[in-house]
Structure 1
């Protein structure tokens, strides 16, 4: 939601009437932008892709998609790998001003927004007398890490970031460490802050790809176990697509010593809970362990 706050602020003042953005049908950012648009008095339009071979045909609204429908969002569905949603010609011809927000909020102003996320985390921790050693977060389209890293460079705070990938993060992928480096530099340049070398930024990037499972949005045993464990220990719910896999990574790092005993860790919960109510091919057998019959 913080991304939307920054991205929508200026367009709202300039009289934009519509926002078009895109994501997979499980999208968190699409839901958050839709909700923020409603609050701002801007009409949201979503273009969502769905892998029908993996998740089946859309027969009912569930999870994040259900919430966007409750919001009354105009929604268009595309086959995976197709595009063309950028065209706002018809809306412009009708006199509307339309903002195009790239997939999952990958917008320069959105990257800047997470400087505040970092400052808020550090402020709250220090107020409680906690000196953070690590911050764990989701690495997907990487809208969060650039702003977090930029804030670290600006403040000189020693905290380390641990990024748990939910999709491929190799140098050949659309999102990779070099993309993060470019975004960090762009943020610092925008703010007039000193810009470190590419090598210095790369040295701060630590991405673990071991918890993707078979693929994006495919149930993963460690993630299912992590969702259960946190809910039963603390009453908080993670999601099966993003945050469950990240928390699985955190638990593994604690168990194998990558997070030393006594270290202070912050976990950045970025949503995804509504996807627990998605189709079984996304959620998996997350509730089966209780062993109770529904009959």
Structure 2
């Protein structure tokens, strides 16, 4: 140990190397400067490219989760993985690709908010890619956000349990992974993302002051926080929400604290008290917009600004809103001039080819 409170890099790496993992992606993912955007804002912006994780050109941060979850699943003889999400789910797409790569059959249970988006009549965006991979999909029409509505969530759960029972009756071993890739085996994955950024920022000759990312189902933040705390790094992690994360909601800061403690325990690192971990959580909920998976003026403007400055694309459901939050912080002075800031690009570019309600009017 470096001291009583922190691990050294060798211990950190050794703890992760002991965990079962099915390699699918291409790591470390790139880390590079956004030079034109930096000049425009007087802040040194960098981007960590989880969208380039593979195995295909459209990827994202859930691939890291899938590697650890499927590593354990293969040890346990799992034959099928059922996971869920909205019909345009990034997580579902990435888990499906990872499962196929690992020789496991993926099944997706997807929801479609019919009042908002209409009946699903054509294949677009991530749903098109899932159908191209010939993934078994079950679409449940809902009338709102099933993350908040208990009756809608129950219909999804019933669909999953019925399909699971059918497969088990046929002798298969089925693993169910929650919305967004929520599973205890996966939370450690983004401790590695943090570890890679330390090496890459050092190679670039800078020390990061801030890391920005988008938070929804809370699968990235626990690993990032656990790595920061266990290694004793001073960087501040800021999260831009794409759904409500108040204490009364299913996903909230208290859940992040518990997941972070679990990752620290897996690493064999000291586990601080809840207040210490909670003090590291900084979630901005001002950029959710009208609703999850609905474009906002801020996100479409952020997509345009990045694309026109750097030729890099973020997506409308997650990363566009996260990037919009970071740019607002830059303009408002919440990020001091001259700071070194990394944006964690977690994917979502497949949804740029969705319907206008999702994508917005980015070509205007």
* TM-score normalised over the length of structure 2: 0.78
Between 101-110 and 198-207, the greater mean CA deviation after superposition: 101-110
Runs of 4+ in 1 over 6 A off after TM superposition: none
1:88-99 alignment runs, 5 A limit: 88-99=164-175
What is residue 154 of structure 1 aligned with on the other side?
A: 230
- For the 8 Å contact 1:20–1:86, the answer to whether it is kept is no
Deviations 1:31-70 (CA, angstroms, capped at 9, x unpaired): 0000001100110000001100001110101111111111
2:161 match: 86
Among 289, 293, 296, which residue is 1:220 paired with? 296
| 1:55 is the counterpart of 2:117 | yes
Other-structure match for 2:102:
40
Which of these residues, 134, 145, 166, is aligned with residue 210 of structure 2?
134
- Of 202, 210, 230, 2:286 maps to 210
Secondary structure of 1:214 counterpart? coil
- 1:202 Cα deviation (Å)? 0.7
Structure 1, unmatched stretches of 5+, are 290-295
RMSD: 0.9
Match of 2:253 among 156, 171, 177: 177
CA distance in structure 2 between the aligned counterparts of 1:264 and 1:133, rounded to whole angstroms: 5
Q: Tell which has more relative contact order, 1 or 2 (C-alpha 8 A, sep 6+).
A: 2
TM-score of the pair, normalised by structure 1: 0.96
Q: How far did residue 13 of structure 1 move?
A: 3.2
In structure 1, C-alpha distance between the alignment counterparts of 2:273 and 2:185, rounded to whole Å:
22
> Residue deviations 1:175-200, cap 9 Å, x none?
11011001111111223221001110
- Which of 85, 93, 102 in structure 1 is aligned with 2:178? 102
Q: Whole-Å Cα distance in 1 between the matches of residues 359 and 323 of structure 2?
A: 15
CA contact under 8 A between 1:22 and 1:46: conserved in structure 2?
yes
Q: Which residue of 2 aligns with 1:248?
A: 324
Matches of 1:91 and 1:170, distance apart in 2: 37
Hey, what's the Cα distance between the residues in 2 that align with 1:186 and 1:86?
Answer: 27
The answer to whether the aligner puts 1:187 opposite 2:263 as a matched pair is yes
Q: Which range is displaced more, 154-163 or 99-108?
A: 99-108
Cross-structure match for 1:262: 338
Tell me how far apart the structure 1 counterparts of residues 268 and 348 of structure 2 sit (CA, whole Å): 34
User: How far apart in 2 are the matches of 1:240 and 1:128?
Assistant: 29
Q: Structure 2: how far apart are the matches of 1:260 and 1:181? A: 27
8 Å contact kept, 1:23–1:30: yes
Once residues 184 and 255 of structure 1 are traced to their aligned partners in structure 2, the CA distance between those partners, rounded to angstroms, is 31
Q: Which residue of 2 aligns with 1:114?
A: 190
Q: In structure 2, what is the Cα distance between the partners aligned to 1:266 and 1:110?
A: 22
- Whether 1:21 aligns to 2:97 is no
Between the aligned partners of 1:284 and 1:138, the Cα distance in structure 2 is: 18
Match of residue 292 from structure 1: none
Q: Which residue among 107, 112, 125 is the counterpart of 2:201?
A: 125
Do the aligned partners of 2:87 and 2:110 also contact (CA within 8 Å) in 1? Answer: yes
Does the CA contact (< 8 Å) of 2:181 and 2:219 recur in 1?
yes
* Aligned pairs (5 A) from 1:272-287: 272-287=348-363
Distance, in Å, in 1 between the alignment partners of 2:81 and 2:293 is: 26
Give the distance between the partners of 1:214 and 1:11, measured in 2 at CA. 38
After superposing the two structures, state which structure 1 stretch, 100-109 or 7-16, moved more: 7-16
Displacement of 1:17 in angstroms is 1.1
CA distance in 2, matches of 1:246, 1:103: 19
User: Which position in structure 2 is the counterpart of 1:68?
Assistant: 130
